[in-house]
Amino acid sequence: MPDPVAINTMFAQVAQRYDRANRILSCGVDLWWRRRLVASARTHHPKHILDLATGSGDVAFALARGLGPGVHITGMDFCQPMLEVALAKQIIAGDPRLAAVTFAPGDGLNLPLPDASFEAVTIAFGLRNMGDRARALEEMRRVLVPGGRLHVMEFSQPAPWLRPFYYFYMRRVSPRLAGLVTGEPGAYRYLCDSIAQFPDRDGLAAEIRRAGFVDVQAVSLTGGIVALHTGQRPAD
Ligand SMILES: C[S@@+](CC[C@H](N)C(=O)[O-])C[C@H]1O[C@@H](n2cnc3c(N)ncnc32)[C@H](O)[C@@H]1O
């Protein structure tokens, strides 16, 4: 299980160069993955959305741009330097649609939010870093209204034919590349280890069901490198 203090410190160290590292390491595909997450949320027209582990805010901003007027997004993260990067981007963008986003500090394992306050919860590449996934999923269910929907974008286990190439890239190439971009190769060795230890698509779907969600579905993207899981808090 990831240690929350170490995770917080690691993201604080890479915050300023986090976006650039993402673009380079994923060859830009991460932008498309986040767009898929937004498209998934758009299907049920939520008005109040929690983007948990919002980091530098890219999902929150994409939701504000993609879901149209009348939507409010709370971008929450426990790492203050990541939130500061998000806030700076919001100001620099000068895009009035981004006024729909409010950033706030908060721990996914103990959300400082009332019960049943969002129609959707999104989380991109954050669940893997949570010290206690079952607890984090229960918190997400708690803050959803009955009938509200969860959208989880996360690294998964790629198709067997892709695994040798993928893990060669992740273990040998990406820490060096990331070291050049961020000066923190250790953070990206952690990325590889955390992905290798993360459940596959069916395993995560089972965890989401165990946390009390229904209608749980999973879609593999980019050869299974990433999976999008959705689930619903049961209607009362
Ligand atoms: C890989 S980044 C993802 C950021 C963003 N969602 C994205 O798609 O780029 C993971 C984020 O999860 C946050 N995080 C990890 N554990 C957390 C927790 N327990 N509560 C809140 N945020 C957490 C980290 O601070 C970091 O910003």
Q: Are 154 and 164 in contact (CB under 8 A)?
A: no
Is pLDDT at 189 greater than 80 in this prediction? no
* The pLDDT of residue 108: 98
CATH assignment at residue 115:
3.40.50.150
* The pLDDT of residue 172: 85
Q: pLDDT, tens digit, for every residue of 60-99? A: 999 999 998 999 999 999 999 999 999 999 999 999 999 9
* The pLDDT of residue 220: 95
Residue 43 lies inside a defined structural domain of this protein: yes
How much is the pTM?
A: 0.95
Residue 194 lies inside a defined structural domain of this protein: no
Whether ligand 1 lies within 6 angstroms of the CB of 124 is answered as yes
Number of domains in the chain: 1
Is pLDDT at 57 greater than 90 in this prediction? yes
Residue 181 lies inside a defined structural domain of this protein: no
Band of pLDDT at residue 185, cut at 50, 70 and 90? confident
Residue 149 lies inside a defined structural domain of this protein: yes
Residue 22 lies inside a defined structural domain of this protein: yes
Residue 177 lies inside a defined structural domain of this protein: no
Residue 115 lies inside a defined structural domain of this protein: yes
Is pLDDT at 3 greater than 80 in this prediction? yes
Which residue has a Cα nearest atom 25 of ligand 1?
79
Whether ligand 1 lies within 6 angstroms of the CB of 82 is answered as yes
Q: Are 154 and 226 in contact (CB under 8 A)?
A: yes
* The pLDDT of residue 203: 96
Whether ligand 1 lies within 6 angstroms of the CB of 122 is answered as no
Q: Are 53 and 81 in contact (CB under 8 A)?
A: no
Residue 147 lies inside a defined structural domain of this protein: yes
Whether ligand 1 lies within 6 angstroms of the CB of 25 is answered as no
- Residue 75 domain boundaries: 4-158+199-232
Contacts of 74 (CB under 8 A, 6+ apart): 48, 49, 50, 51, 101, 102, 103, 104, 113, 118
Q: How far is the CA of 99 from the centre of ligand 1 (A)?
A: 21
More confident residue, 27 or 150: 150
